[in-house]
Structures are given as C-alpha cells and as structure tokens.
Amino acid sequence: MSETEILRLLREAVTAADVDPYLAKLGQFDESGPALVDQGVTEFLTQLVRSAWERGWAPADVVQHARRQLESGAEPLLLAVIAAEHRAYKAALVDPRWKDQLTDVGITRPFPAFELTQWSAGQRLGRYLALHLTVELARFLWTLPGLARIFPLPGSAARTAKRAGSAVDGKMLARIRGLLAKAEATEFPEEAEALSGKAQELMAKFSLDRTLVEAGPELPDDSGARRIWVETPYVSAKAQLVGAVASANRCRTVSMDALAVVTVVGAELDLQLTELLATSLLVQANRAMLAAGKHFGHRGESRTRSFRQSFLMAYAQRIGERLEAVTETTTEAALSEADRDRLLPVLSKREEQVDALFTKLFPQTVTRRTRITNGAGWHAGLTAAELAQLHPHRPVSR
C-alpha cells in the first residue's frame, strides 16, 4: 500500500457508479495504515479545492452550492479542507474580498491543518462514515463546472490590493442595513417597501457622493463582480429581481439558472449596495408571494407554480421601475448644475469600465425572453409591487 495507490483509488471512486467497492478497499487500507490514508485524503481533497479556485469558484460559491447538493454532514468537512488548503498562501497575497468570503463562511486564521482521523473524532463520526463523506465531497468538487473568475487566485493577488471604500463605508452601510432589516421584519407590505425605498434613496445618494469625490483627471477602475445565490424554485424570476436592483444601481447581471446564481458586475460600492438591497427584496418578494396563497384553475387543478412564477416576474418588473424612479429623483435633487457637469463624464467613464469587465467575463451572453403563463399571478405581482411605497419622502409608519 502506498499514498499513490490511495490517490488512484480515490480518483476512481469519484467517477464510479457504485462507490461501495472502493469504500471497502479504502477500509482495508485504513486497517493497516490509517495515517497513510489520512495523507492521501488530505492531498486529494486539497487538490480538488485548488482546482475549484482555478475554475473560477470562490469560497462562498462552493459553500452555497454545497449546501444545496450535499448532505449536511459534508459542510463541516468542506470548511475544514478549505481552511487547510489556505495554509499554503501568504495573507498579503490573498485578495481582501476573498478574505471576506472566508470570514463569512466561518473560516479565520490561523488555519488549522486537516487530518481525517482527528477531524472525524471531533465530529464524533465513525471511520466508514468519514470516508463516505470524503468521497461524496470529492465527487461534488470533481464535477463543479467552470465559472467566470471574479477574484485573483489566492496566492497571486497584488500586495497593494485594497478594497475600495472600506475605510469610509461602514456608517452609511450600517444605516442601509438597518432599514432593510426593519423592512424584512415588518408584517406590513407598505411599511416594508417604504423602508426599502428609503434604503435605495440613501444608496443612490451615497454612490453619487462617492463618485463626485473620486471625480478627477484619472478615474480608478474599481469595477468588479459578485455572485448572488438565489433559492429555488422560480430561479429565473428571482434572477430578474436581482437584475432590476442591479440596473437601478448601474450594474449588469448574468444569470445561470442551472446553478441558481446571478453574477453582478459593477463598481465596487455599487456592488455592495446592490447585494444588500437585492438580498432583502428577495426575502420580501418571497413573503409577498406566499401571502398571495395558492392558485387553482377553473376545474380545480393546481396552477400555483405558474401563478408564483408570474407573480415574481411582475413584482421584479414593477419594483425595478420604481427603484429606477427613486434613483432618478434622488440624482436630480442631490446635484447642483456644477456637480452635474462633473458627474456625467465620470458616470460615462465608469459605465465603460463596467462594460469592459462584463465583456471580458462574459464574452458570449444570450438575452432570454420569458413568457407569462398565468395572468392572475402577473396582476397579483403588480398589485404587490404597487403597495411598495417607494417614494423617498413618504413617511414611514411606526
């Protein structure tokens, strides 16, 4: 028995229709040399994690997708392997946004080493189950498709890389988060949407103020991308809602329905703001959809699925229109004539930067048209969106 044999066995197991014979063979190896099996498992899984990074995945992407595809017991194993894989990188050579994702999924320095025997003991798992989870996780990582790379690979980021606006965004972002938290908590649709409208007003003004501060002979290119993972079902309709929020905040989107993920491309601050509001509105839209109840046809047949799909599409369209109106009104109210003369060239330049990155990441995209199959759902969604009192000067009830 050698580590090479163990690696070969693991590679064969992830592509086999029946993994039981391979698990049995690993068990035999394990009886005579568990330390050698541990070494092989660690090397194999960390190689697969690195391969995922090279195919465009980032930590939050892998964890989000794994939660939908794997047994719950596999997530702790995935996090442990990701942490161990990051021991190879100097902190200065990891992009700050990548570090933020590690923190968000619960991985922080110092990154512990990984050993299957020690890990399974800490999880109180039997050896066979630990090996079974190992193969399941390996299968998942092996089959990940390629994604557009939106961050530098860990270990290759520039030492001088800094996250745009990180030193001055905290207070305003906290205010916006507070408004959206209240919007998600209230049971009254009018209040929720008035709070969301106020959040969009603050977002638009905040972004304009920052753009004016940065206006100058040379506009730094801080365009980037983020991925927002949406819950199934009704992925295409929810992606349209994300797209509506993104458009109101000068961002562009691409949806991959098979993975239930939307990639948003824009300036760094606009990306942060879009993610905040889109995530909140997805919660609010889902609540409004469920509140509309189930739907049945004239003969009593269930039409709930088409009703809800159409509901969310109508909601996305109308909310998008209203967010755009808030942005336009805020822009007009916030700018003097002199500011407008300074701002327009900057916004034009930033749009060029975002478009250039979008084309680089997605050189081939297809615009898709979606048919409305349930008129009742469409009108119900419009009605729900009309309850969205997004005018920024409307008082919010308490």
Q: How far apart are CA 236 and CA 258, in angstroms?
A: 10
Determine, yes or no, domain membership for 162: no
Same domain? 185 vs 57? no
- Work out the mean pLDDT of the chain and round it to a whole number: 87
Strand partners, 228: 262
In the chain, which ranges are continuous DSSP H helix?
3-15, 20-32, 34-54, 59-69, 74-85, 96-104, 116-123, 127-142, 170-185, 189-214, 235-248, 268-291, 304-334, 337-361, 375-386
pLDDT of residue 187: 86
Are residues 195 and 277 located together in one domain of the fold?
Answer: yes
- Global pTM reads 0.86
Q: Is residue 121 in a domain?
A: yes
Q: Report the run of H or E that residue 264 belongs to, with start and end.
A: strand 261-267
Does residue 204 lie within any of the structural domains? Answer: yes
Residues 307 and 362 in one domain: yes
Q: How far apart are the C-alpha atoms of 195 and 175, rounded to whole Å?
A: 11
What phi and psi values does residue 202 have, to the nearest 5 degrees? -65, -40
How many CB atoms neighbour CB 88 within 10 A? 11
Q: Are residues 100 and 227 in the same domain?
A: no
Q: For the chain, how many residues are written?
A: 398
At residue 104, does pLDDT exceed 90? yes
% of residues, the chain, pLDDT over 70: 88
**Sorting pLDDT into bands at 50, 70 and 90, what band is 391?**
very low
Q: How many domains does the chain have?
A: 2
Instruction: Domain of residue 334: give its range.
Output: 170-386
Is 93 found in the same domain as 215?
Answer: no
* Claim to verify: residue 231 and residue 100 sit in the same structural domain: no
Instruction: Render pLDDT for 192-222 as a digit per residue (tens, 0 to 9).
Output: 888 998 999 999 999 988 888 877 667 889 9
Contact 133, 13 (CB under 8 A): no
Whether the per-residue pLDDT at 293 is higher than 90: the answer is: no
